[in-house]
């Protein structure tokens, strides 16, 4: 990032949304608007933003006004430049959703969850998600006094305001993501405690794969329904699709015509695997069409009727396929699914209207309940014979989550496949170092000609060398070919560069001094030492770190109220070490660190992830004034500083398999 960015706007999440040219242009517009009337308040934005591209061209003043009013209750509040940018981003997203120019490659589920700013929400979706929450969280000791929630009311948004419900829901989707010892669960929470819960929720949601760019803790506190429902829908989707991979359901190998297709299947996103599973069974029926989406292709309910007849023939109703009316057929389909024991996620109306979110949830639930696949010994043994790439997959997961947290145009499902055309890598480089990409020679997807992909990846390598990455004998074609080792090596160096630049901008900007790994190590040791502790770490691969005590002391040194020492173990056994590691991760996220490591990365002392964890804590410390750290995070920050780590963060990733401590291949 250049110096101009730090001067114009301090919020990293805003820095990462614009190029330098765009930021200066918007600053000029903002100053002009403010000069016209002496000051600029929220109520003025609907009319004055008519002169801005996209927002002015595609939204009427009434639409802009309605959107702004929905976002901000106090329209007399004076607007500073950062608030101006936030409103502009929200309106731009709304305008893009109206014109259909939102990213084509992201799933409908994600689009609905994170980009739409329509002021009405789907009552069917809300009702469905409330039913899901009532079912899965009914036995929770803390929440049972609030459950069941009435699906026909807006009670969900009130219950979600303290953050506990969303944290618990994340743990249902991906068990163990949040150490529940870190959740504030008093009956009456003060503003700091409530804010901490939402910060923990947002950072944990990113850590399981949700897209929460431009969503802040204030959105939850104020109960902005479309945003709350959007995050909930993503969490539930992740839960429902959790088994759609070969590790969890090796029987999916039955979908393959040829064993050579195995790698292709392993690289498919869960939604695509679900469609492939559905079409696999439909081939056994008289249904001749291919289902390619969970909307228009299932509206007439014929595909559902055939699918359920294959999976549960004992409940077949001849009338289902005989009726001509799609709505009546949809009702019969749901009767069939009920007899199978499948909990409904949608109504007949949702089917004929083609609700993509609810149809996907419905099919995913059917898969979980009865997938119709068999255990084939030959195929299972073939899967077991595959080389163990646990380290690669852990690196891939961490980098994927980090890249998706930056808010690029496309949501990626697999870094080895989805980065091969170079475009997302170029977007990521631009987010990390604004203005560094020459977009005039970049080729935007869809890219049909292979040499165009190579051109993009050549620029990726060239920029890497410009940033002093170690890329000996690396060419753009290596990325196009999906060379795992080189891709992981490049991404680690890019993430590390991002971390060091963020820290440099905060701590050493005035002197222009480069920050090093040694600076981070020295800072951490000095912080822990200042508390009177004798703990220290010799390096980021110091095996003494495995018990987690050093990091708990580090967290306590930057925020004295962060750690409840009564919950900390001695770290003597493997189980105690894992408990401490889990607690460390949740406490760091609760403070505001956006990190993607797993407890095993601490207990195994993975040097790269230890570095990024330490740096993320250092970054948080340097961003917050001393008085805020001692009394707790102020409520006013919730919509700005604490949401920022979604875009430019210190994310923990990568194991030692691909590069050494200095990033060398």
Q: Residue 645 pLDDT > 50, yes or no?
A: no
pLDDT range class, residue 147, cuts 50, 70, 90: very high
Residue carrying structure tokens 């949501």: 411
Comparing 144-148, 261-265, 326-330, 482-486, the range with the smallest average pLDDT is 261-265
Residue 23 has pLDDT above 60, yes or no: yes
Instruction: Check residue 59 and give its pLDDT.
Output: 74
Average pLDDT over residues 356-374: 94
Q: Is the pLDDT of residue 389 over 90?
A: no
Paired with 41 in beta bridges are 78
The span from the CA of 125 to the CA of 113, in Å, is 11
Upstream peptide bond of 148 is cis (omega within 30 degrees of 0) = yes
The whole-angstrom separation of Cα 98 and Cα 58 is: 8
Q: Where are the beta strands (DSSP E) in 292-333?
A: none
CA dihedral 185, 189, 191, 194 (to 10 degrees): 20
**Phi/psi-derived region of residue 468, left when phi > 0, alpha when psi is between -120 and 50, beta in every other case:** left
How far from 540 is each of 447, 478, 518, CA to CA, in Å? 41, 30, 10
Looking at the predicted structure, is the pLDDT value of residue 90 above 90? no
Alpha-carbon distance 106 to 596, whole Å? 21
CA distances from 158 to 61, 142, 431 (A): 31, 15, 35
Which band of pLDDT confidence, cut at 50, 70 and 90, is reported for residue 377?
low
Average of per-residue pLDDT values in the chain: 83
- The upper half-sphere exposure of residue 643, i.e. CA atoms within 13 Å in the direction of its Cβ, equals 23
Of all residues in the chain, the percent with pLDDT exceeding 70 is 82
pLDDT score recorded for residue 577: 97
Q: What angle do CA 660, 497, 517 make, to 5 degrees?
A: 60
431 — pLDDT class (breaks 50, 70, 90) = very high
Q: What is the pLDDT of residue 120?
A: 62
Of residues 462 and 60, the one with the higher pLDDT is 462
Confidence class of residue 20 from pLDDT cuts 50, 70 and 90?
A: low
The predicted structure's pLDDT at residue 92? 79
Sorted by sequence, the CB contacts under 8 Å of residue 269 that are 6+ apart come out as 107, 413, 414
> How far is 219 from 643, CA to CA, in rounded Å?
10
Question: What's the pTM?
Answer: 0.77
Report residue 108 as tokens: 């409908």
Q: How confident is the model at residue 650 (pLDDT cuts 50, 70, 90)?
A: very low
Of 194 and 258, the one with more pLDDT:
194
Which pLDDT tens digit goes with each residue over 449-485? Answer: 999 999 999 999 999 999 999 999 899 999 999 999 9
Q: Is the peptide bond before 446 cis (omega within 30 degrees of 0)?
A: yes
Q: What percent of the chain has pLDDT over 90?
A: 58
Mean pLDDT of 194-198: 94
Rg (CA), the chain: 25
What is the 8-class DSSP label of residue 78?
B
Question: Which residue's structure tokens are 């956006």?
Answer: 594
Pick the range with the lowest mean pLDDT from 70-84, 100-114, 269-283, 524-538. 100-114
Q: Nearest-5° angle of CA 652, CA 653, CA 655? A: 135
Lowest mean pLDDT among 53-67, 203-217, 400-414, 528-542: 53-67
The SS3 assignment for 362 reads helix
Residue 510 has pLDDT above 70, yes or no: no
Looking at residues 361-367, what average pLDDT do you find?
A: 96
Do residues 457 and 471 touch, judged by C-beta distance below 8 A?
no
Helix 356-369 to helix 225-240 angle, to the nearest 10 degrees? 30
Can you give the pLDDT at residue 6?
39
Give me the pLDDT at residue 10, please.
Answer: 62
Q: What is the pLDDT of residue 260?
A: 59
| Model confidence pLDDT, tens digit, residues 536-578 | 999 999 999 999 999 999 999 999 999 999 999 999 999 999 9
Find residue 78's DSSP bridge partners.
41
Residue 45: per-residue pLDDT: 85
Tell whether the model's pLDDT for residue 384 goes beyond 70. Answer: no
Segment 242-247 mean pLDDT: 88
pLDDT at 19: 66
63-67, 115-119, 271-275, range with greatest mean pLDDT: 271-275
Helix/strand number for the chain, H first, E second: 34, 0
**186 φ/ψ angles, rounded to the nearest 5 degrees:** -65, 155
The pLDDT value recorded for residue 546 is: 97
């Amino acid at each position: 990032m250049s110096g101009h960015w730090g001067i114009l706007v301090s919020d990293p999440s805003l820095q990462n949304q614009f190029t330098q040219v765009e930021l200066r242009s918007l600053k000029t517009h903002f100053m002009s608007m403010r000069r016209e009337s002496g000051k600029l308040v929220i109520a003025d934005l609907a009319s004055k933003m008519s002169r801005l591209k996209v927002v002015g061209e595609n939204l009427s003043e009434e639409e802009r006004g309605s959107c702004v009013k929905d976002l901000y209750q106090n329209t007399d509040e004076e607007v500073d430049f950062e608030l101006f940018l936030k409103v502009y981003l929200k309106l731009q997203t709304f305008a893009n959703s109206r014109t259909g120019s939102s990213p084509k490659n992201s799933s409908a589920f994600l689009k609905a969850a994170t980009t739409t700013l329509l002021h009405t929400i789907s009552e069917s979706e809300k009702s469905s998600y409330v039913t899901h929450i009532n079912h899965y969280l009914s036995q929770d000791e803390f929440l049972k006094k609030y459950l069941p929630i009435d699906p026909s009311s807006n009670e969900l948004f009130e219950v979600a305001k303290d953050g506990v419900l969303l944290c618990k829901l994340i743990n249902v989707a991906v068990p163990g993501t949040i150490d529940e010892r870190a959740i504030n669960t008093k009956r009456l929470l003060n503003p700091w405690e409530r804010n901490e819960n939402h910060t923990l929720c947002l950072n944990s949601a990113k850590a399981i794969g949700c897209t929460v760019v431009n969503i802040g803790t204030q959105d939850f506190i104020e109960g902005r329904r479309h945003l709350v429902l959007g995050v909930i829908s993503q969490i539930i989707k992740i839960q429902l699709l959790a088994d759609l991979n070969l590790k969890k359901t090796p029987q999916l190998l039955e979908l393959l015509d040829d064993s050579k297709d195995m790698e292709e299947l392993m690289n498919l996103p869960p939604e695509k695997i679900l469609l492939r599973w559905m079409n696999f069974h439909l081939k056994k029926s008289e249904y001749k069409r291919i289902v390619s989406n969970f909307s228009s292709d299932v509206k007439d309910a014929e595909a559902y009727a055939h699918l359920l007849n294959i999976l549960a023939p004992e409940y077949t109703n001849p009338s289902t396929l005989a009726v001509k009316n799609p709505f009546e057929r949809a009702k019969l389909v749901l009767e069939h699914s009920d007899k199978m024991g499948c909990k409904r996620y949608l109504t007949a109306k949702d089917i004929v209207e083609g609700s993509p979110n609810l149809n996907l949830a419905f099919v995913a639930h059917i898969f979980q309940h009865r997938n119709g696949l068999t255990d084939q010994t030959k195929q299972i043994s073939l899967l077991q014979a595959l080389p163990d790439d646990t380290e690669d997959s852990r690196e891939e997961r961490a980098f994927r989550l980090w890249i998706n947290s930056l808010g690029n145009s496309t949501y990626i499902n697999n870094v080895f496949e989805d980065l091969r055309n170079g475009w997302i890598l170029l977007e990521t480089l631009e987010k990390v170092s604004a203005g560094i990409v020459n977009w005039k020679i970049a080729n935007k997807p869809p890219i049909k000609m292979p040499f165009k992909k190579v051109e993009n990846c050549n620029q990726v390598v060239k920029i890497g060398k410009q940033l002093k990455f170690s890329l000996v004998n690396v060419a753009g074609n290596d990325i196009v070919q999906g060379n795992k080792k080189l891709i992981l090596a490049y991404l680690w160096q890019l993430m590390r560069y991002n971390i060091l630049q963020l820290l440099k901008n905060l701590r050493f900007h005035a002197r222009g001094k480069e920050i090093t790994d040694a600076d981070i190590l020295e800072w951490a040791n000095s912080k822990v030492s200042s508390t009177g502790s004798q703990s220290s770490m010799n390096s980021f691969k110091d095996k003494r770190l495995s018990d987690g005590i050093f990091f708990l002391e580090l967290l306590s040194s930057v925020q004295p109220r962060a750690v409840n020492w009564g919950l900390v173990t001695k770290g003597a056994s493997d189980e105690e070490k894992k408990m401490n590691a889990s607690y460390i991760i949740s406490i760091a996220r609760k403070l505001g660190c956006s990190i993607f490591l797993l407890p095993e990365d601490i207990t195994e002392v993975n040097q790269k992830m230890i570095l990024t964890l330490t740096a993320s804590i250092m970054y948080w410390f340097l961003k917050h004034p001393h008085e805020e750290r001692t009394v707790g995070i102020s409520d006013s920050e919730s919509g700005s500083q604490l949401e920022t780590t979604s875009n430019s963060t210190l994310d923990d990733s990568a194991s030692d398999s691909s590069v050494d401590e200095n990033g060398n291949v």
